[in-house]
Amino acid sequence: MLKRRELAAGVATIALLGSGRRASAEDMTGVMPSSIKVGVLGSLTGVQAVFGQGNLSGAQIAFDEANAAGGIHGRRIEIVSIDDESTPARSIAGFRRLVDDEKVFAVFGPSASSIAQAMEPVLRAASAVPVLGSIYSSPAASEPFKHNVFRTGPLQDRLQGIAIADFVLETLKSTKVALVSQSDEYGRRGGASLTERMKEKGHQLVAAEVFNLTDTDFTAQLLRVRAAEPELLVIYGFPAPAATITRQARQLGLTAKILGSNATANRTYPATVGPAAAGVMNVISLAALPEGDDPRMQAYVQKFSARFPDLARQNRPDLGDCLGYNGAVVFVEGLKRAGAALSREGFIRALESLKDFETGIGLPTTFGPQRREGNLAARVLEFQPDLTRKLTSFMLHSAG
Interval 40-55: pLDDT, tens? 999 999 988 989 999 9
**pLDDT tens-place string over residues 208-252:** 999 999 999 999 999 999 999 999 999 999 999 999 999 999 999
Considering the chain, tell me which residue range(s) the CATH 3.40.50.2300 domain(s) occupy. Answer: 35-155+292-369, 157-284+380-397
Answer yes or no: is pLDDT of 18 > 80.
no
Q: Is 276 helix (H, G, I), strand (E, B) or coil?
A: helix
Answer yes or no: is pLDDT of 10 > 60.
no
Report the chain's C-alpha Rg in angstroms.
22
For the chain, first and last CA: distance in Å? 49
pLDDT at 255 (0 to 100): 96
Answer yes or no: is pLDDT of 5 > 80.
no
**pLDDT tens-place string over residues 66-104:** 999 999 999 999 999 999 999 999 999 999 999 999 999
pLDDT at 3 (0 to 100): 36
Alpha helices in 252-318 (DSSP H): 269-273, 295-307, 309-312
| Region 281-288 average pLDDT | 96
| Region 348-356 average pLDDT | 98
Nearest to 51, CA basis, from 181, 154, 161, 164: 154
| Region 372-389 average pLDDT | 96
pLDDT at 400 (0 to 100): 61
DSSP state of 277: G
Selected from 3.90.1580.10, 3.30.2080.10, 3.40.50.720, 3.40.50.2300, the CATH number assigned to the domain covering 35-155+292-369 reads 3.40.50.2300
CATH code for the part of the protein at 157-284+380-397: 3.40.50.2300
pLDDT at 140 (0 to 100): 86
| Region 350-363 average pLDDT | 97
Distance, in Å, from the CA atom of 249 to the CA atom of 257, rounded to the nearest integer, reads 11
Q: Are 347 and 336 in contact (CB under 8 A)?
A: no
**pLDDT tens-place string over residues 324-333:** 999 999 999 9
pTM of the model: 0.90
Burial of 101 (0-12, 13-18, 19+ CB in 10 A): exposed
397: β partners: 377
Determine the distance from the C-alpha atom of residue 340 to the mean position of all C-alpha atoms in its chain, rounded to a whole number. Answer: 29
How many CA atoms lie less than 13 Å away from 336 in the CB half-sphere?
14
Query: Across 226-329, where does the E strand assignment appear?
Result: 232-236, 257-260, 281-284
DSSP state of 367: -
Q: Are 77 and 36 in contact (CB under 8 A)?
A: yes
Whole-number average pLDDT of the chain: 91
pLDDT at 266 (0 to 100): 86
Answer yes or no: is pLDDT of 16 > 60.
no
**Which are the contacts of 2, defined by CB distance < 8 A and separation ≥ 6?**
10
pLDDT at 11 (0 to 100): 35
**pLDDT tens-place string over residues 119-167:** 999 999 999 999 999 999 999 888 889 999 999 999 999 999 999 999 9
Percent of the chain surpassing pLDDT 90: 86
Distance, in Å, from the CA atom of 315 to the CA atom of 70, rounded to the nearest integer, reads 32
